Chain A
Amino acid sequence: MWRRGPIRTVGGMTQNRTALITGASRGLGLALARSLVADGWKLVIDARTAADLDAVVAGLGSSAVVAVAGDVASEEHRLALRRAVAGLGGLDVVVHNASRLGPSPQPPLDAYPLDALRAVYAVNVFSPLRLTQLLLPHLRPGGRIVFVTSDASVEAYEGWGGYGSSKAALDHIAAVLAVEHPELSVYAVDPGDMNTRMHQEAFPGEDISDRPPPEASVPGLRELLTGALPSGRYQARALVAPVEAVR
């Protein structure tokens, strides 16, 4: 496959590539971090609590992981992430994965507390945009920015007006950023329904064990990180065959 950017492969391993993944202590972020570490990527990851992050990083077992504890909604934390990226000498990929569902169960719009909605937008819209602003100067040529979105950004599901509208805003930010920065690849990616804690919060009390694990969405994300797809909005599980088939 034709690859662009500074990718160098040695013995099938990707060398010297650096990614920042937000919200990497569980779910999709953790699954992606594991996958990238296994292929020799350098990572900057974050999570809100140091203790969660500590356990995760110990499990990743790589000295090429810089873990920064903090909330993406905090400017101080975002500056710390930039500090980490600058310290690693630049970045190839940003994956804006950290998200906030909002109240569980999700309230209908006619009763949605605006403070709660602001908190959802702070994490899902303003934080990824602000972090992008901070990291753009550190992105290497051919850099990629991935915004993790949701089918709730295009479909009108009852109760999903808060989270869904924030992801719709994020989709549009991704689309406009792609036009404003044609030198970069900018993707919005819908990972699909997954058996994650956030998904459980969206369906409190329901059995969600029939949903695929987040690992099933990782190959699609990997395709965005290293493939040659044009900027745009994608569904992760439609991009490639399931993980079992690849291995």
Chain B
Amino acid sequence: MRGAVRSLVGLPPAPGPIEASGRRRDAALLLASRPSSAIDTTFAALGEFLAPGDVLVVNTSATLPAAVPLDGPAFGRGGPAGLLLHLGTELPGGLRVAELRTATGHGSRPFVDARPGTLRLAGGGRAELLSPWPAVANEGPNRLWVARLDAGSGGGLTAWLAHHGRPIRYGEPAEPWPIDAYQTVFATEPGSAEMPSAARGFTAELVTRLVSAGVVFAPLLLHCGLSSPEAGEAPEPERYRVPAGTAALVNAARAAGRRVVAVGTTAVRALETVAGDDGTVHPGEGWTELVVMPERGVRAVDGLITGWHEPEASHLELIAAVAGEEMIERSYATAHALGYHGHEFGDFHLILP
């Protein structure tokens, strides 16, 4: 059944954040998909599809400017120049997943000749590439590495990145955007390599309106690792934390017959990681390697707010697990017809199967 989802055609990418054109984030388009209907509206109308007591599970991870330029050539004198180091998931023991990339103006493209060794980074930082990640290599050249990172003097990682890092970008985007464009209204704990973008449409005003209407917000944390835009790799392990309060809210909602709607595939991954076979959610934290596939389905989640993804993205498998493949295919066809835009600054998709 993988073929059906993978044969979907991605939507044209939004050229930039909607606020860059002076519009509110909740003015972005929202397609509300149900088994027998799809309503074209804007994100601001989200509340019309929710009932009092429904729970929105939101990811509070903030995006790091996790692309750091190298200071000089890589691997010592005579090595390749113009490279960036992308910092991904934090691993136990102070290690971190990292990817060496070639800078392309405001973006980056793959660099395939990485090898173990030391890299000097902007602002006095250093990284040592230790070994390929994961230990069992994917097909083709190795992209990801386990690195030991030294953020230089003072301040720690977040402060160092604030000065010397920039948002991770792929390909050759025409313009840079400030790190604020990559933060959601829920972002409180820095740690994502890439933006958990499904919550980008929320404004403080919209959240207030939803709360006043009786919609419940339940926070969790999942720091997004490095995606794999060039390769159909499995998602890497990611750090997560589901607080006891959130587990209680989700379980109470299910018991009361309310819906649990995950905001983002990251929220699905975290919640399903701590869900028992009967859908009961337990508090927990650590690294999750769970890959939510249609064959597995979902246990704790009744609906999903997400963006529009590339067909090769593993996100689509997860979305198909929530919605079913037929509904996904129809939604993508409708979104195409309606001129929706995809990618990190794109339009939104509410899935209520």
Contacts and interface: CB of A to CB of B under 8 A. Distances in A.
A19 B338 CA distance: 16
Given A50-B45, A63-B330, A69-B45, A87 B338 contact: yes
Interface residues of A, number: 23
Contacts of B34: 54, 57-58
B337 A57 contact: no
Given A50-B32, A63-B330, A83 B339 contact: yes
A57 B330 contact: no
B48 interface: yes
Interface in A4-54: 49-51, 53-54
A68 B40 contact: yes
8 contacts: A50-B45, A58-B36, A66-B337, A67-B37, A67-B40, A68-B39, A69-B41, A84-B337
B334 interface: yes
A6 B41 CA distance: 31
B39 A83 contact: no
B37 A54 contact: yes
Interface of B: 32, 34, 36-41, 45, 48-49, 330, 334, 336-339
Contacts of A137: none
Nearest to B44: A50
Contacts of B339: 83, 86-87
Interface of A: 49-51, 53-54, 57-58, 60-63, 65-70, 80, 83-84, 86-88
Contacts of B41: 50, 68-70
What are the 4 A-B residue pairs with the smallest beta carbon separation, nearest first?
A87-B337, A57-B37, A69-B41, A51-B48
B32 A66 contact: no
Nearest to B334: A66
Contacts of A49: 48
B336 A69 contact: no
Most A Cβ at <10 Å: residue of B40, B334, B338: B40
Contacts of B39: 50, 53-54, 57, 67-69
Contact of B49 (A51, A61, A63, A68): A51
